[in-house]
Structure 1
Amino acid sequence: MKTAHYYLLYDEDCSLCRWYTNTFVRYGFLQSDARMPFHKGIQDARFSFDEDRARTEIALVSDQDQPVRYGIDSLLFILGRRWKWVELIGHFAPIHFLLRMLYKVISWNRKVIAPVTCTTDCRCEPPLNRFWRLVFILLCGSLTYVLVGSYFTAYFQENLRWQTPGLEGGLFLVQIGFQFLFFRVFRQRDFWMYAGQIAVVSAIGALVLGLALLGLNLLSSAGLDVQFLEQTTFGLVLGIMLLEHARRVRMLGLTKWLTVTWFIFRLAIYPLIFIL
């Protein structure tokens, strides 16, 4: 195997990290023992690497005299052992820059995307980086603006009180501000983490609505009447978002009243923007 003597030090408390490193093993990109939890890697005398950097950029180390690779370079190296063209394209400067930026957004916010209860004292927990958290929130807001806006335009255009560009993005930001006020009232800690969770819940809802839009368009093109499904689907998506918000708040140990205020905001805002 071309990756023999290499070890990928992953965050065992990150479900995303567990999934993709296990995928590498399952499909033969790595040997089974080459997938090593971060906390074991820092205790192994064979390896010398930047522990702080490895918390945010997964490290590929070797028990031989080989350079340590971090982040997207680790992943490109592993994929390149089987598909050389992937590594070549990935290292083309403009593409490599975009891949690095995408990797950083995901890595710095991985515990926001998939929150977990740590089993090893969060030894590989990335520290808060406000810049990358803000970038992540803005990306989620942009996704919400595009997909929810497309759904509103397709099915609720005549029911909107205002035909204002950016309405959905504005609602996204207003909800974060609304929740911030009650976050302070309830004396909770780490609003940056919670703001990320609000963004993820909105992005999940936007993605589901985007898929629903495709499905409803297919049904409509087949000659079926989807008018009832248009509103029903939107209501179901709100229900999914409510349950997901409650789940994430519970996992973070925050007060359940944040879910109540999240729901109150939704109940209050829709009569203001829709003609019922």
Structure 2
Amino acid sequence: MKTLNNHTLLYDEDCPLCNIYTSGFIKVKMLDENGRKSYASIIKEEQNYIDFNRAKNEIALVDTQNKKVFYGIDSLLKVIGTSFPWIEKIGNWKPINYGLKKVYKFISYNRKVIAPSVIKNKNTTECVPDFNVKYRMFYILFANFFTAIILFQYAKMITLLPKANFGREILLAIGQIGFQYLFIQKLDKQKQLNYIGNLVTVSVMGSLVLLPILLLNQFVIINEYLILGWFGLTVSIMILEHFRRIKLLELPKYLTMTWVLYRIIALLIILNS
């Protein structure tokens, strides 16, 4: 790999994804040993040429010699492009670059509901992205649709349940949000959408856990009791993950109980349909 020297990425130290790919750049020597720095450690002098607020939403790559700064997808293309110029060339083609920037923003604006972190003291400098309603709503819709597809395919493998129906899975996903909303009405709109974002992320995680069995079933016949057992294990993992996120968000713990209650009610309705 060709190393991009004298450049530093300002990353969110509380973001698992940011930690993984920035440290990865250094390990494979795309960046030198000083190639990343926590956003929280930006010094006053650096704020003269770094857009402090923009760097919260789009990871900043600082040219430490020329004091030039790249943001978001442009910073990543700069790092990768040093080792693979053809990737940077394709990525900078206007139609591709436009799409990459939209995908980047979709992930960046939702990274705190994809991987939440502990709420720190208000006086602590945090790399928290701006709250963007458009991208949050798009994420919620995407997560519901993805979850419904996986659950629909998984339900088709369980003959003990009524015949699988994609519309039913969509309604169940939307219904979960509506049911939980009854218990978060007193929160402000931002906290409501932050919780709902975490809620659908738990559903996506559950779907990803089901995916290996779904794929394996395309090649071998899997015992239905194993399929049911795996589903039960997945639900248990989701309950624990929901509870973990509730604690991180400092929200009432009973929200996990209402989450479980909805699942029980939904199952009873399915079995009696």
Q: TM-score, normalised by structure 1?
A: 0.89
Distance in 2, matches of 1:265 and 1:122, equals 38
Instruction: Extract structure 1 runs of 4+ deviating beyond 3 A.
Output: 44-47, 216-219
Match of 1:86 in 2: 87
Distance in 2, matches of 1:33 and 1:214, equals 42
Once the two structures are TM-superposed, the CA of residue 66 in structure 1 deviates from its matched residue by 5.8
Distance in 2, matches of 1:261 and 1:103, equals 33
Distance in 2, matches of 1:122 and 1:249, equals 23
Match of 1:234 in 2: 231
Q: TM-score, normalised by structure 2?
A: 0.90
* Percentage of pairs with the same residue: 37
Distance in 2, matches of 1:46 and 1:271, equals 57
> What is the aligned residue count?
268
Once the two structures are TM-superposed, the CA of residue 43 in structure 1 deviates from its matched residue by 2.7
Q: Provide closer, same or farther for how the CA distance between residues 122 and 239 of structure 1 changes in structure 2, counting only shifts above 3 A.
A: farther
Once the two structures are TM-superposed, the CA of residue 119 in structure 1 deviates from its matched residue by 5.6
Deviates more, 1:245-254 or 1:165-174: 165-174
Match of 2:168 in 1: 167
Matched position secondary structure for 1:60: strand
Match of 1:109 in 2: 110
Q: Is residue 2:145 matched to residue 1:142?
A: yes
Distance in 2, matches of 1:262 and 1:62, equals 48
Once the two structures are TM-superposed, the CA of residue 46 in structure 1 deviates from its matched residue by 8.2
Distance in 1, matches of 2:46 and 2:176, equals 49
**Does the 8 Å CA contact 1:209/1:237 hold for their aligned counterparts?**
yes
Match of 2:268 in 1: 271
- Please list, as runs of the form range in 1=range in 2, the aligned pairs for 1:1-276 lying within 5 A after superposition: 2-45=3-46, 48-65=49-66, 67-118=68-119, 121-156=124-159, 159-160=161-162, 164-184=165-185, 187-188=186-187, 190-220=191-221, 226-275=223-272
Q: Provide closer, same or farther for how the CA distance between residues 182 and 32 of structure 1 changes in structure 2, counting only shifts above 3 A.
A: same
Q: Provide closer, same or farther for how the CA distance between residues 243 and 46 of structure 1 changes in structure 2, counting only shifts above 3 A.
A: closer
**Does the 8 Å CA contact 2:3/2:29 hold for their aligned counterparts?**
no
Structure 2 residue identity aligned to 1:166? G
Deviates more, 1:27-36 or 1:87-96: 87-96
Deviations 1:112-156, CA, capped at 9 Å, x for gaps: 111111567252111211111111111111111211111112334
Distance in 2, matches of 1:96 and 1:243, equals 39
Pairwise CA RMSD: 2.1
Distance in 2, matches of 1:42 and 1:169, equals 48
Q: Provide closer, same or farther for how the CA distance between residues 117 and 46 of structure 1 changes in structure 2, counting only shifts above 3 A.
A: closer
Q: Which structure 2 segments of 5+ residues have no match?
A: none
Distance in 1, matches of 2:83 and 2:32, equals 14
Q: Provide closer, same or farther for how the CA distance between residues 47 and 64 of structure 1 changes in structure 2, counting only shifts above 3 A.
A: farther
Q: Which structure 1 segments of 5+ residues have no match?
A: none
